[in-house]
A and B are shown apart, each in its own frame.
Chain A
C-alpha cells in the first residue's frame, strides 16, 4: 500500500512537471504520512545525509571542466584533430563524430553535457557537409553515451558511492566497454556509408594530421592527465576533477586566450545551477530509497526475481529489463541512487561482480537516455539541432542496436569489464 502510494504519487508529480528532486521527496513524504509511524523530520535529514559524501564533490568540478573546455576552445581543437585523423574515410564525419566522442569522453563525465557541447558541434559540421539529419542526430545521440562509460563518469561516481565500490576500479572497468561501443558504431557507420555512398570529407594527409596534432597537443593532454591520474592511483576522482579544472582554466586563459572573466563567471553560475539540480535529485532519491527500504522492498524484489533462481544470466536478464524500463521513465542519477541498494544485493547473490554490475547498470541507463518518452539526450539534441524530438527518437533507434550488442557482450563476458581493473589494482 505504502509502496503503491509512493510510486503513484511520484508518477503523477513527474507528469505534472514538478522538479524531479521535489517529486521524489514529496512522494516520500506522502508515503510516510500514509504509513503513519515515521516522523516527517526524516525527509530533510535523509536528503542531507544522501548528499553528504566526498566523491560527490567531483560532480561540480567535472561539470565545470567540461564547460571550460567547450568555452575555451579545447573541444574544437579535439574535434579538428579527429577530423584530420579520420575525415578521409568514407562517411568521414561519421567516423570523426565517434572519434571525437572517444577523445572528449576522457575529459567529460555526462552524456547530456557531451550532447550539448560536442554534439552540437558534430551535428552542425555533418549537416553542413550534406549528411542526412537522421544520420547526424542518431549517430551523435549514440556516440554521446560513450562519454559516461569511458572515465571520468558522473554516473559511475554515483554508483560507486551508493555501492561502496572503488571508483578507480569502476573507471578502469569502463574503458574496454567504451571502446567496444565506439568500435560497434564505427562498423555501423561503415555499413551506412557504403550503402548510402557518403563522401570522403578530405584526402588522407600526414601533414594535416601532424599540424592538427600540434595544434591540439595541449588539449589532448587533458584526458591523458585525468584518466592517467585516476588509473595510476595518483588522484582520487575528486582531485582529478579539480586538476582538470585548473588545467582547462590555465590552458584557455593563458595559452588559447579564449576565456574572459565574464566567461568564467558565466560557466561557473551555470555549473552551480546544474550541480545543485543534480545534488537535490540525489537527496530526493536518497529519501525515496530510504522509504522503499523501510518497506522491505529488497525482500519483494528478491522474491519476485526468485524464478531466476541462482542462474546468473537469468538474473542479469531480469535486472536488465528492469533497468531498461526504469531508464525509459526516470532520470539517470535518481535511478542509480534508488536502484543500486535494491538490485545490487540480488546481483551479488547470483555471483555477479559489483564492478561488472556497475558498468552494466550505467550502460543500461545510458540506452534509456536515448529512448522515449523521457530520453534526456534526445531532448538536448532536438534543441541544438532543431529536429523535432519525435524524429530524433526515430533516427536514434537503429543506433541503439550496436549498443545493445555491446551490453549483451559485457553481460556474458565478465573479463571485458574485470580484466583491466585486475591488472591495474
Chain B
C-alpha cells in the first residue's frame, strides 16, 4: 500500500519526483541532514530528560534555537542550488518567451547581490558582539554569527554559480538565436524548474 507518485508531499516544490539518488545530494545536503538529525536528537534528549529522568537539561533549548537558525541558512543554499525558494512566478506566464532568460538572469543577479550584502553585514556584526555570551553555554554569540557567515558563503557560492550560468546562457542564446523551451517556467506556476 505505498502511495502513488501524485500523492507525494508536494509541499511547495514543483520538481518533487520519486527519483532520489545519492548523486544528487551535494555537500550542503549532508551538512544540513547531519544538523537536522542532531537537532532531532537534542530535542528527543530534552523530552526524555524532562519526562523520563525528571532532570531537564538546561542547554538544549538555546542550542536547539541556534541550530534551527543555522539549519535555515545552510538549507537555503539547497534552495539556491535547486531554485526552490518560495516565490510567485505565476506572472512569468505573461512574460514573452524570448525575454524569459533575461528575467531569470536578473532574478539570480538580485539574489546574488543581496546575499553579498547579507554576507558582508554578517561579518560586520561578528566583532560587535564578541562580548555577548550565550545564556546557557560559555560561548560568545559571535560563534553563531561566524557559522551563519559560513552558511551565507555557501548560499552565495550556489547562487553565483546559477547567476553565472544564467548570464552565460544569455550570450549563447543570443548567438544561436533559438528559443530553448526549458528556460521558461510557464508550466509550473509556483516555483521554477531548476
Residues B71 and A120 in contact, CB atoms below 8 Å apart: no
Residues A266 and B20 in contact, CB atoms below 8 Å apart: yes
Within 8 A of A (CB), among B1-41: 1-4, 6-14, 16, 20, 25, 29, 32-33, 36-37, 39-40
- Closest Cβ–Cβ distance, residue B126 to chain A (whole Å): 11
On chain B, the residues within 8 Å of A245 by CB distance are 40
Residues B87 and A20 in contact, CB atoms below 8 Å apart: yes
On chain A, the residues within 8 Å of B86 by CB distance are 19-21, 277-278, 281, 331
A354 at the interface (CB under 8 A from B): no
A268 touching B84 in the complex, CB below 8 Å, given contacts A17-B103, A41-B124: no
On chain A, the residues within 8 Å of B68 by CB distance are 51, 56-57, 60, 279
A105 at the interface (CB under 8 A from B): no
Residues B9 and A270 in contact, CB atoms below 8 Å apart: yes
Question: In the complex, which of the residues A14, A51, A76, A238 contacts B69, with contact meaning CB atoms closer than 8 Å?
Answer: A51
- Closest Cβ–Cβ distance, residue A108 to chain B (whole Å): 9
The residue among A17, A51, A121, A271 with the most chain B CB atoms within 10 A of its own CB is: A17
Question: In the complex, which of the residues B73, B124, B190 contacts A380, with contact meaning CB atoms closer than 8 Å?
Answer: B190
**Range, interface on chain B:** 35 or more
On chain B, the residues within 8 Å of A272 by CB distance are 29, 32-33, 36, 71, 75, 78
Does more than half of chain A's interface fall in helix, strand or loop, or is it mixed?
helix
Contact with B along A362-394 (1 / 0, CB 8 A): 000000000001101001101110000100000
A117 touching B78 in the complex, CB below 8 Å, given contacts A41-B124, A379-B90: no
Within 8 A of B (CB), among A54-86: 54, 56-57, 60-61, 63, 66-67, 70-71, 73, 75-77
Contact with A along B87-108 (1 / 0, CB 8 A): 1111110000000000100110
- Closest Cβ–Cβ distance, residue B25 to chain A (whole Å): 7
A70 touching B3 in the complex, CB below 8 Å, given contacts A22-B114, A270-B16, A276-B73: yes
Question: In the complex, which of the residues B82, B118, B145, B188 contacts A383, with contact meaning CB atoms closer than 8 Å?
Answer: B188
Residues B117 and A269 in contact, CB atoms below 8 Å apart: no
On chain B, the residues within 8 Å of A25 by CB distance are 114
Within 8 A of B (CB), among A184-237: 235
On chain B, the residues within 8 Å of A113 by CB distance are 9, 11
B61 at the interface (CB under 8 A from A): yes
A246 at the interface (CB under 8 A from B): yes
B163 at the interface (CB under 8 A from A): no
B164 at the interface (CB under 8 A from A): no
On chain A, the residues within 8 Å of B29 by CB distance are 269, 272
A258 touching B75 in the complex, CB below 8 Å, given contacts A17-B91, A44-B118: no
A413 at the interface (CB under 8 A from B): no
A294 at the interface (CB under 8 A from B): no
B168 at the interface (CB under 8 A from A): no
Question: In the complex, which of the residues A45, A54, A60, A383 contacts B190, with contact meaning CB atoms closer than 8 Å?
Answer: A383
- Closest Cβ–Cβ distance, residue A295 to chain B (whole Å): 21
B161 at the interface (CB under 8 A from A): no
Residues A71 and B9 in contact, CB atoms below 8 Å apart: yes
A26 at the interface (CB under 8 A from B): yes
B153 at the interface (CB under 8 A from A): no
Contact with A along B133-153 (1 / 0, CB 8 A): 000000000000100100000
Residues A41 and B85 in contact, CB atoms below 8 Å apart: no
In chain A, what residue has the closest Cβ to B92? A17
Question: In the complex, which of the residues A18, A276, A374 contacts B111, with contact meaning CB atoms closer than 8 Å?
Answer: A18
Number of interface residues of A (CB under 8 A): 86
B169 at the interface (CB under 8 A from A): no
Residues B9 and A117 in contact, CB atoms below 8 Å apart: yes
On chain A, the residues within 8 Å of B107 by CB distance are 16-18
A31 at the interface (CB under 8 A from B): no
B157 at the interface (CB under 8 A from A): no
Question: In the complex, which of the residues B11, B36, B43 contacts A238, with contact meaning CB atoms closer than 8 Å?
Answer: B43
A265 at the interface (CB under 8 A from B): yes
On chain B, the residues within 8 Å of A379 by CB distance are 90, 189-190
On chain A, the residues within 8 Å of B85 by CB distance are 19-22, 277, 280
B156 at the interface (CB under 8 A from A): no
B167 at the interface (CB under 8 A from A): no
The residue among A25, A66, A268 with the most chain B CB atoms within 10 A of its own CB is: A268
Give the distance in Å from the alpha carbon of A277 to the alpha carbon of B12 in the complex. 10
A40 at the interface (CB under 8 A from B): yes
Give the distance in Å from the alpha carbon of A384 to the alpha carbon of B11 in the complex. 11
Give the distance in Å from the alpha carbon of A52 to the alpha carbon of B148 in the complex. 13
B64 at the interface (CB under 8 A from A): yes
- Closest Cβ–Cβ distance, residue A254 to chain B (whole Å): 16
On chain B, the residues within 8 Å of A279 by CB distance are 68-69, 72
- Closest Cβ–Cβ distance, residue A13 to chain B (whole Å): 8
Residues A116 and B9 in contact, CB atoms below 8 Å apart: yes
B47 at the interface (CB under 8 A from A): yes
Give the distance in Å from the alpha carbon of A226 to the alpha carbon of B109 in the complex. 44
On chain A, the residues within 8 Å of B110 by CB distance are 13, 16, 18, 22, 26
A269 touching B33 in the complex, CB below 8 Å, given contacts A54-B65, A379-B90: yes
Q: Can you show 12 pairs from A to B with CB atoms below 8 A apart? A: A18-B110, A44-B122, A47-B118, A48-B148, A70-B7, A70-B9, A76-B1, A263-B20, A273-B13, A276-B74, A276-B76, A380-B190
